[in-house]
């Protein structure tokens, strides 16, 4: 297992990082670092012999967090922030169809399962009623939750 990043490398986290219970002084689930934040690798190691974990110092947040390799990209890689992230609840901003057949009605609620950043416009994999769909960002709206 060879690490992709070395000491001092500038990296960007591609998803928000929350406390999984291992970060002292913050409650479980508390936001540690927002997606898109840039940090610097301090060191790396393995967890359970097959997971690379990088100790990353996020200078702006003054926070040192353990990150899995799949949560990081190079700090020099192109970055598109996107409006949504994994786990967000969204609604269809317009009716969605596959092959001309309606599959999701306007306003139907779904959950973001993945982000697809390799093409413009950015799109997401969204779970609507047990089915996954690739949906462009413009066809989604943030779900307003009532307090």
Tell whether 64 and 107 lie within a shared domain: no
Give the domain CATH number at 134.
Answer: 2.30.30.40
CA quadruple 80, 91, 28, 70: dihedral sign: negative
Residue 119 DSSP label: S
Structure-token match 């092959």, residue found: 99
Q: pLDDT for 3-39, tens place per residue?
A: 788 899 999 998 888 888 888 888 888 889 988 899 9
Let me know: does 113 contact 132? Beta carbons within 8 Å: yes
Tell whether 62 and 107 lie within a shared domain: no
Q: In the chain, how many domains are there?
A: 2
Q: pLDDT for 50-103, tens place per residue?
A: 778 899 999 998 889 998 888 898 888 877 777 887 778 999 999 999 999 999
Domain boundary among 74, 102, 126: 74
For residue 105, being part of any structural domain is answered with: yes
Beta-bridged to residue 59, according to DSSP, are none
Tell whether 69 and 24 lie within a shared domain: yes
């Amino acid at each position: 297992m060879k690490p992709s990043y070395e000491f001092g490398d500038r990296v960007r986290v591609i998803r928000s990082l929350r406390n999984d219970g291992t970060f002292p002084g913050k409650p479980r689930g508390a936001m540690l670092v927002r997606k898109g934040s840039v940090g610097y690798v301090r060191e790396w190691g393995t967890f359970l012999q097959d997971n690379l974990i990088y100790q990353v110092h996020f200078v702006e947040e003054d926070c040192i967090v353990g990150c899995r390799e799949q949560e990081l990209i190079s700090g020099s890689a192109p970055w598109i922030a996107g409006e949504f992230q994994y786990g967000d609840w969204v609604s269809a901003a317009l009716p969605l169809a596959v092959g001309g057949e309606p599959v999701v009605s306007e306003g139907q609620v779904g959950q973001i399962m993945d982000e697809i950043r390799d093409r413009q416009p950015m799109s997401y994999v969204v779970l609507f009623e047990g089915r996954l769909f690739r949906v462009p960002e413009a066809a989604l709206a943030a779900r307003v939750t009532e307090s």
